[in-house]
Amino acid sequence: MIRRPFRIALVGSGIGGLSAALSLRQAGFDVQVYEQAPELTEVGGGINMGPNAVRILYRLGLRDALEREAVRPLGTHQRRWQDGRTLQRAPLNPLCEQLYGAPHLTVHRADLLSVIAGAFPPERLHLGHRVVGLGDKGDHVEAWFDNGARINADVLVAADGINSTVRAALFGEEAARFAGCVAYRGLVPVERIAHLGLEIGTQSWVGPGGHFVHYFVSRGRLLNFVGWTEHDTWNREDWTDRATIARALAAFEGWHPQVRQIIAAAETCFIWALFDRDPLPRWSVGRTTLLGDACHPMYPFMGQGAAQAIEDGATLAACLGTGNPDDPAEALQRYERLRLPRVTRVQEMSRANKIRFHLPDGPAQQARDAEWARASDRSPEALRWLHGFEAGVLDQAETS
Ligand SMILES: Cc1cc2nc3c(=O)[nH]c(=O)nc-3n(C[C@H](O)[C@H](O)[C@H](O)COP(=O)(O)OP(=O)(O)OC[C@H]3O[C@@H](n4cnc5c(N)ncnc54)[C@H](O)[C@@H]3O)c2cc1C
């Protein structure tokens, strides 16, 4: 066992960073979190939390708070963009809890972040600290911040997102690539769409060059939607972060009336561009490692980016907790070895879904629809490898 107290500095207080902070504290480490923003914020609307992540969050003591804030979707339903025909359906709850020991949840991102943050001691969260440099001193790591502060730690874990400063410091600068997709994101008060009689579940509509997803969040008071469309280029001159409802409706011209009625009922609509990076061959150098979008940003087409970051934290805590006290770098190497194949698989599947979901109508789309009708790729059996995985149990991680 590594001698304690063992000081871990975590950079970034997003869903990945803060959930890792809880996992590391539960394993007995002395954790401090450094966040550039002056306050905790999560932009955007909803997020799907698969049972693989919810199980970890429950173990961190967040069950009651999550159940209060989140929604338990009964199933997923994929439909054709134009006529609404069912392509595939699969049950989620209560089956996920029976099979995997935790439900599948849909939750507002701000609610999820505040549930996680609520379990972390506020005096250990240092807001307004933007890391600008770091150095491995052999027996400890140093980091310095834009506000002039400097810190020492035994290990530094960077969960500072897709544009990670620490990743650039370790492996070199490389701009993220525009992925050829933008999302229209909005929240709709449920009373405005009550007449649609929507299922308590996740619906996703797939069509040529785009797809549209909606589900309930915020104790069922809001419907979250994300509508994806493909574009060749992205630049700030042509796009603004806030889109008009009219622009979103134009992007989904000709789609099923339910899709269009949901967009039309939104209070506001935001537009968001998707960026991408290739998988990294390694995440750790000496006593420093990466976690979450900092090392494996992924298209959100498996609904797993944050869930994989939560898994990272559980595996990291288990590796450091059982590692050689004099060699934390070895524990970080083990963490990276265990996590890389799994997140790379999810990254690759998310990429493949971008193509599969957006096929133009024609033979390839018909073959896809026939395949989904024959063998659902959303069934609990098909997703057992994803949802049944125990990220904090090293034996299982090692043999998977
Ligand atoms: C439209 C959309 C839908 C999605 N849907 C899902 C879903 O359904 N399920 C799912 O699991 N995932 C989903 N994802 C992915 C998920 O949102 C991300 O993978 C996840 O939020 C990444 O968390 P993170 O903590 O690694 O990074 P971030 O959330 O990016 O957090 C990084 C933090 O680091 C801070 N920071 C940055 N630089 C510094 C610095 N130099 N010093 C100090 N602090 C710094 C930032 O301010 C921020 O707080 C979706 C993503 C999108 C865009």
Q: Mind listing the pLDDT tens digit for each residue in 72-121?
A: 999 999 999 999 999 999 999 999 999 999 999 999 999 999 999 999 99
For 34-56, the three-class secondary structure string (H helix, E strand, C coil) is ECCCCCCCCCCCEEEECHHHHHH
Whether 50 lines ligand 1, by a CB cut-off of 6 Å, is no
Strands 177-189 and 222-230: antiparallel
Q: Which of 289, 398, 298 is nearest to 354 (CA)?
A: 298
Query: Which stretch of 76-85, 127-136, 381-390 has the lowest confidence by average pLDDT?
Result: 381-390
Mapped onto helix, strand or coil, the DSSP state of residue 59 is helix
The pLDDT of residue 3 is: 55
Compute the distance from residue 365 Cα to the ligand 1 centre, in Å.
32
Whether 13 lines ligand 1, by a CB cut-off of 6 Å, is yes
Rg (CA), the chain: 21
| Contact indicator for 314, 396 with CB cutoff of 8 Å | no
How large is the angle between the packed helices 305-321 and 15-26, nearest 10 degrees? Answer: 30
pLDDT at 42 over 80: no
The pLDDT of residue 25 is: 97
Instruction: Give the model confidence (pLDDT) of 244-283 as tens digits.
Output: 899 999 999 999 999 999 999 998 888 888 998 988 999 9
If one compares 238 and 11, the residue with the highest pLDDT of the two is 11
| C-alpha to C-alpha distance for 70 and 172, rounded to whole angstroms | 39
| C-alpha to C-alpha distance for 54 and 109, rounded to whole angstroms | 14
Mean of the pLDDT values across residues 301-305?
96
Instruction: Give the model confidence (pLDDT) of 331-359 as tens digits.
Output: 999 999 999 999 999 999 999 999 999 99
Nearest CA to ligand 1 atom 42: 130
| C-alpha to C-alpha distance for 110 and 42, rounded to whole angstroms | 5
Pocket test for ligand 1, best of 32, 151, 160, 162 (most atoms within 8 A of CB): 160
Q: Check if 215 is active-site.
A: yes
Please tell me which residue in 34, 215, 299, 335 is annotated as part of the active site: 215
* Average of per-residue pLDDT values in the chain: 93
Whether 12 lines ligand 1, by a CB cut-off of 6 Å, is yes
Whether 262 lines ligand 1, by a CB cut-off of 6 Å, is no
Measure CA of the first residue to CA of the last residue in the chain; give whole Å: 24
pLDDT at 63 over 80: yes
Compute the distance from residue 252 Cα to the ligand 1 centre, in Å.
27
Compute the distance from residue 216 Cα to the ligand 1 centre, in Å.
21
Whether 48 lines ligand 1, by a CB cut-off of 6 Å, is yes
The pLDDT of residue 326 is: 83
Q: Which of 134, 395, 393, 179 is nearest to 305 (CA)?
A: 179
Counting from 1 in the atom list of ligand 1, the atom nearest the Cα of 159 is 26
Whether 224 lines ligand 1, by a CB cut-off of 6 Å, is no
Mapped onto helix, strand or coil, the DSSP state of residue 222 is strand
| C-alpha to C-alpha distance for 337 and 332, rounded to whole angstroms | 9
Whether 47 lines ligand 1, by a CB cut-off of 6 Å, is yes
The pLDDT of residue 315 is: 98
Compute the distance from residue 160 Cα to the ligand 1 centre, in Å.
8
pLDDT at 243 over 80: no
